[in-house]
Structure 1
């Protein structure tokens, strides 16, 4: 469905993406994982069309979209900070994009998404009345009513924790499966990537270290970097959770 061929991006003398090549299948959930500065978000922005590439090709359904404008690609993104309109309530945010393209989703389809994301009781609330998890669901609904060909998510769960994080993660998975929606997720959390995705792309210094199914990443890491990165990140997460419990117990 999406073929990325020898994708390159350079800022000055800094090579951000160094000839990335991979295929993402129709309806597949792919997580992009790696340390800060590995090129994860730049790759997402190149696919979306925000960032112009310096070499290579993007092929979507056998059509070269390398030089196609972002607005014409039909992809959509949910940003880490949600990017909701504070002057509009939750429902107005959800249907905002339909003002210019009302043919994309009818009211029944909008209500179906609202129901699926558990937002019915929050529709009349202002954005500052919503929790982090509710804002994330509103941002998801606003994107999904536009029926994107590919859904891009930039650190969608980083501001959430505990039960809320698991709930949103499950909803993303449910939506991707129910709507057969190709989904690309940038994350720094290996547990999130390994439990949410069909395949995981691990990057380092603008290169692909491994692109494989979660089980293969865990049991057959392609190199020492992949093995150490996964283990170290999981250990850091365990320590953070332990510290939270200790603090809660102490208070």
Structure 2
């Protein structure tokens, strides 16, 4: 279990996060959801160890880790941009970390992951030959082969759209569940959180506005902010889809 106890982050006199209390069970997919500037990426970075906690504690499997350096936590992150090595092909990008650690890249686990992410036909392509969705799958594979205890993802779908976005979303869920991998995803899009996560943390101005299942968030919002943020964003999405459909229908 990953537990945050009264976690606060302050820069000078500005409290970015205030008294965050959160328990995430092993194997859960949890979305950190909220508008830009609410503190969700700061929270992700504190869990990773990239950003120090001002006060409070972070525990993993009942051991405090808030003073443990990032490289010793055993967590790993998929950032928004692809961060791939352009001079290496897809396979060498995936195996890069394993080679550095002198681990065998030819294990069944690695092979199974490549199959899960449907990367077998693309392993020997250069990065510039891959589509956006293929690049994202390579990055996910490169992160997961390192066997992280917790997988963190910062807006992993932001550069994708349409059917490609839906396929990557489904693959993330499939891989996380097949590996029983605790996964924390930052997103500003309610439809992503509602369709990917077991639990959702809605963040408002540095505080947890609500923590619950997608059903809780949709059917039992506990504040006007949660209700309006979810419904307004979904309405914007529906309006965008309607516009696209209307344009295509009239073409």
- TM (norm. structure 2) is 0.96
1:102 alignment counterpart = 102
**Superposed, which structure 2 residues align to 1:1-251 within 5 Å?**
1-103=1-103, 106-249=106-249
**Counterparts of 1:36 and 1:169, CA distance in 2:** 21
**Counterparts of 2:76 and 2:36, CA distance in 1:** 23
Cα shift readout 1:13-48 (whole Å, capped 9, x = no counterpart): 221111111100010010010000000100000000
Deviates more, 1:81-90 or 1:215-224: 81-90
SS at match of 1:67: coil
Structure 1 gap ranges (5+): none
* Alignment check: 8 A CA contact 1:90 1:138 kept: yes
Deviates more, 1:120-129 or 1:229-238: 120-129
**Counterparts of 1:208 and 1:221, CA distance in 2:** 13
Deviation at 1:158, TM superposition (A): 1.3
Aligned length: 251
* Alignment check: 8 A CA contact 2:99 2:105 kept: no
Root-mean-square deviation (Å): 1.3
**Counterparts of 2:57 and 2:104, CA distance in 1:** 28
SS at match of 1:218: helix
Deviation at 1:53, TM superposition (A): 1.2
* Alignment check: 8 A CA contact 1:104 1:147 kept: no
* Alignment check: 8 A CA contact 1:25 1:182 kept: yes
SS at match of 1:153: strand
Deviation at 1:101, TM superposition (A): 2.0
Deviation at 1:245, TM superposition (A): 2.9
* Alignment check: 8 A CA contact 1:26 1:182 kept: yes
* Alignment check: 8 A CA contact 2:27 2:176 kept: yes
Q: 1:39 to 1:104 in 2, by over 3 A?
A: farther
* Alignment check: 8 A CA contact 1:119 1:138 kept: yes
* Alignment check: 8 A CA contact 1:105 1:146 kept: no
- TM (norm. structure 1) is 0.96
Q: 1:104 to 1:215 in 2, by over 3 A?
A: farther
**Counterparts of 2:201 and 2:104, CA distance in 1:** 31
